[in-house]
Amino acid sequence: MVWIHGGGFVAGSGDVQGELFAARGVVFVSINYRLGPLGFFGHPALEGPVANFGLLDMVMALEWVRDNISAFGGDPGRVTVFGVSAGGMAVSMLLANDAAQGLFHGAIAQSGYGTWALPRTVNAPAPAPLDMYLNPAQSAESLARQLIERVSPDAETAEDLRALDALALMRAVEGFHLPLVDGATLPEEPGILFLAGEQHDVPVMTGGNSFEGMIMPVSGISVEEYVRIWDVDYPAARTLYRDDFDKSPEIGVKRLFGDNRYLLAARTLALGMARKSSPAWLYYLDLPAFGPPNDSPGAPHGYDRRLLFSGADLPDAGQRALAGRLLGYWLDFARNGNPNREARLQWPEYREDDDRWLVFGIKDEVRRGIARERLDFIEARYRKRIRSAATPADQR
């Protein structure tokens, strides 16, 4: 199992408790990759079409696993990639990356965001989807120039860029950093490729949490800006999220943000797998967090990572038991390409017609139509955003 860490593509590391997996018979690999503008950067002074250098790092790590993991007792023919948040997005990008073909045989994208609008380089395909405001897509080259202006306005050549202070360059990033559609390492936004069935044909587990929007304050997007993104659709969103807005406008906006960024992406990936021969399983983690942030009205962003890597240390017995079940599903998926075994609640393969999710909580259950009305509303706006870039088959 190859772990790809999260951190908004600006932070994080592969320093995790892999021994928890190793103790259960898994050969566990965690990797590092270039972050921020060191890893994802589309400045016009750089040579060649590649802009996602961090993604190439991940591909190279998987090539190393293929070539060397048997020396550690691993099976190069049974590799599963998994990650949360930016790590989940990385898994989505690997599913769409040609060079990663055959390097992994199962994928777990936890709270990825493959349906989020990405900046585009001049090498990205046309016509382009719109941005989150339903305006023309952001230029990766313009964003790179703006970033360099904050560090060294006179830096123009590739030599100038490589001479910059790396720490200053990283600190110039505000909020999370985004990968880029460069037409080379990422031929299009992952969600668009998933709906066209152009991802790798491997079994997939994907999902998200009930209050993903807890992460919004550090994302670089303010409540006010996110309201502007929704524009004329905002009143309808408020109506759909009435229960949350009744608690506070901030909770309402955060729930909308989390569903839009993470849950829609999970459902879209699961939906796209219907165009392939491999199955998908969709999950939803829904329980209050234990300890900070204890004001979360649901499972906050990244709580599944906490359960997987440190759930056995939680003081609550119910959550410790959940952590054990969660790990069991993940391990069985990695071993067999299927998360189910006889002694456990059976997790159905995802089908659009019945829309069944496995809901993880103190008591797990299979449910139909998780947040369906809200996600259908968000998806309608997403389809409008990508309409110009989607193929006719995608526009159901």
Chain segment 152-190, per-residue pLDDT in tens = 999 999 999 999 999 999 999 999 999 999 999 999 999
- Which two three-digit tokens encode residue 227? 């309201």
Low-confidence winner among 49-53, 83-87, 141-145, 340-344 (lowest mean pLDDT): 340-344
Asked if 333 contacts 327 with a C-beta cutoff of 8 angstroms, the reply is no
Mean pLDDT of 281-291: 90
pLDDT digits (tens, 9 = 90+) for 39-95: 999 999 998 999 999 999 999 999 999 999 999 999 999 999 999 999 999 999 999
Whole-number pLDDT of residue 396? 46
Cα separations in angstroms, 164 against 88, 148, 155: 30, 9, 8
Distance CA 72, CA 18 (A): 14
How many Å apart are CA 115 and CA 265, to the nearest integer?
5
DSSP-derived 3-state class of residue 281:
strand
Instruction: Name the packing angle between helices 86-95 and 264-272 (round to 10°).
Output: 20
pLDDT given for residue 394 in this prediction: 56
Average pLDDT over residues 108-114: 98
Chosen CATH of 2-394 out of 3.30.360.10, 3.40.50.1820, 3.30.450.20, 3.30.460.20 = 3.40.50.1820
pLDDT tens, residue by residue, 235-282:
999 999 999 999 999 999 999 999 999 999 999 999 999 999 999 999
What Rg value do the Cα atoms of the chain yield, rounded? Answer: 20
When pLDDT is averaged across residues 314-334 and rounded to a whole number, the result is 96
Question: How buried is 383 (Cβ within 10 angstroms: 0-12 exposed, 13-18 middle, 19+ buried)?
Answer: middle
Band (289; pLDDT cuts 50, 70, 90): confident
How far are the Cα atoms of 98, 317, 361 from residue 324, in angstroms, in the given order?
A: 35, 11, 12
3-state secondary structure of 331: helix
Residue 80 · residue 93 · CB < 8 Å: no
Token pair 């003081």 is found at 315
Contact, 188 vs 263, CB < 8 A?
no
pLDDT given at position 246: 96
The pLDDT confidence band at residue 295, using thresholds 50, 70 and 90, is: low
Q: 390 pLDDT band (50/70/90 cuts)?
A: confident
Instruction: Give buried/exposed letters for 208-237 (b at 16+ CB in 10 A, else e).
Output: bbbbbbbbbeeeebeeeebbebbeeeeeeb
Q: For 134-198, what is the HEC assignment? A: CCECCEHHHHHHHHHHHHCCCCCCHHHHHCCCHHHHHHCCCCCCCCCECCCCCCCCHHHHHHCCC
Nearest to 188 by CA among 123, 100, 265, 136: 123
Q: How confident is the model at residue 293 (pLDDT cuts 50, 70, 90)?
A: low
Nearest alpha carbon to residue 81 among 64, 97, 58: 58
Element (H, E) at 319: helix 317-336
pLDDT band at 391 (very low <50, low <70, confident <90, very high): low
Q: Cα 145 from chain centroid?
A: 26
Phi, psi of 84 (to 5 degrees): -115, 140
Average pLDDT score over the chain: 96
State what percent of residues in the chain have pLDDT above 70. Answer: 97
The answer to whether the beta carbons of residues 91 and 107 sit under 8 Å apart is yes
Distance CA 94, CA 101 (A): 8
In this prediction, residues 207-229 reach a mean pLDDT of: 96
| Partners of residue 205 on adjacent β-strands | 108, 281
pLDDT number for residue 287: 92
Q: Cis omega before residue 293 (within 30°)?
A: yes
Question: In the annotation, is 388 catalytic?
Answer: no
State the catalytic residue, choosing from 30, 85, 92, 111: 85
